[in-house]
């Protein structure tokens, strides 16, 4: 295809591959731990960092990363100490992050040129710097899950049993929540703050229709996420529509098709 000759498309394909690895693995942990709402809170809180970045003149993605990690650690800490109910903590951080982001974007001099790409995602605008960051994240995620796979598996499904086995549950929880935050921030470049949760949950739910094994769900999520990203990228190019939204729409169609296939198979 002619479009694959373009440099920005090649960058987009690399970004899709790297983020499919990170999101496929981390997203499986999110779904297994039922942390989707927590992840949503972290995602929207990160917009505060985007706004601060625009206002102070440093890269918005760096601001989003700092705020996302702080929000993630705060959520984990307050939840563990039972200071507030989990959903209340998330709602407060969610609202606070969005409010701070809106205020600082409004106060920023001039026009914020890339603001829409942070809100709705644009995989075709990723830079070489973004790709290096995504590569670093993908390698970090792979390393952590390879080194601590059994510990993560125990913590994801039964913290009490993990403690009995002598697994450092608190360390694993804090390590994984930071990885979740960083994965969310870098995924913003491809899917946007509004849609990023779909990238972290829909491939996992498709895989879970056909297997219950944690490792198989991870692998399936990586493959499905990459396939949906490439298909969405091609469709967005030829239809001249936003790439982030097209990728998410593709994932939803894939999920509905998978459910239909499963129903047909089980009826037989």
Q: What integer pLDDT is reported at residue 75 of this predicted model?
A: 85
Give the chain's domain count.
1
Taking residue 114's Cβ as centre, other Cβ atoms within 10 Å add up to: 14
Taking residue 2's Cβ as centre, other Cβ atoms within 10 Å add up to: 7
Confidence label for 112 from pLDDT (cuts 50, 70 and 90) = low
pTM for the whole thing? 0.87
- Give the pLDDT confidence of 211-244 residue by residue, as tens digits: 889 999 999 999 999 999 999 989 988 888 888 8
Q: Is the pLDDT of residue 130 over 80?
A: yes
Of 233, 219, 229, the residue nearest 254 (C-alpha):
229
First CA to last CA across the chain, in angstroms?
39
> What's the CATH number where 251 sits?
1.10.3470.10
CA separation for the pair 17, 127 (Å, rounded):
15
Give Cβ neighbours of residue 141 (< 8 Å, ≥ 6 apart): 21, 22, 25, 26, 179, 183
CA separation for the pair 227, 90 (Å, rounded):
32
Q: What integer pLDDT is reported at residue 267 of this predicted model?
A: 67
CA separation for the pair 83, 86 (Å, rounded):
9
Q: Is the pLDDT of residue 268 over 60?
A: no
Mean pLDDT of 90-106: 88
Give Cβ neighbours of residue 11 (< 8 Å, ≥ 6 apart): 124, 126, 127, 128, 131
CA separation for the pair 119, 191 (Å, rounded):
8
Q: State the average pLDDT for the chain.
A: 87
The parent domain of residue 20 ranges over 2-267
Q: Is the pLDDT of residue 4 over 80?
A: no
CA separation for the pair 146, 59 (Å, rounded):
31
Mean pLDDT of 66-72: 92
């Amino acid at each position: 295809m002619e479009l694959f000759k373009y440099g920005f498309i090649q960058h987009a394909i690399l970004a899709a591959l790297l983020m499919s690895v990170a999101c496929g693995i981390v997203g499986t942990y999110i779904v297994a731990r039922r942390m989707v709402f927590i992840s949503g809170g972290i995602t929207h809180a990160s917009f505060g960092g985007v706004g601060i970045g625009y206002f102070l003149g440093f890269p918005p993605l760096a601001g989003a990363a700092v705020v996302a990690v702080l929000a993630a650690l705060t959520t984990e800490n307050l939840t563990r100490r039972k200071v507030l109910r989990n959903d209340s903590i998330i709602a407060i951080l969610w609202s606070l992050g969005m409010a701070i982001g809106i205020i600082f974007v409004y106060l920023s001099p001039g026009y914020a040129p890339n603001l829409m790409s942070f809100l709705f995602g644009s995989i075709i605008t990723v830079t070489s710097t973004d790709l290096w960051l995504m590569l670093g994240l993908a390698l970090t995620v792979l390393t952590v899950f390879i080194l601590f796979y059994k510990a993560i598996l125990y913590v994801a499904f039964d913290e009490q049993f993990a403690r009995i086995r002598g697994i450092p549950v608190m360390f694993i929880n804090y390590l994984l929540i930071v990885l979740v935050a960083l994965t969310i921030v870098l995924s913003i470049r491809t899917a946007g703050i509004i849609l990023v949760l779909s990238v972290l949950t829909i491939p996992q739910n498709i895989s879970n229709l056909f297997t219950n094994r944690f490792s198989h769900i991870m692998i399936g999520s990586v493959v499905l996420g990459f396939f949906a990203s490439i298909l969405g990228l091609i469709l967005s190019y030829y239809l001249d529509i936003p790439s982030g939204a097209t990728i998410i729409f593709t994932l939803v169609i894939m999920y509905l098709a998978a459910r239909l296939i499963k129903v047909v198979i089980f009826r037989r």
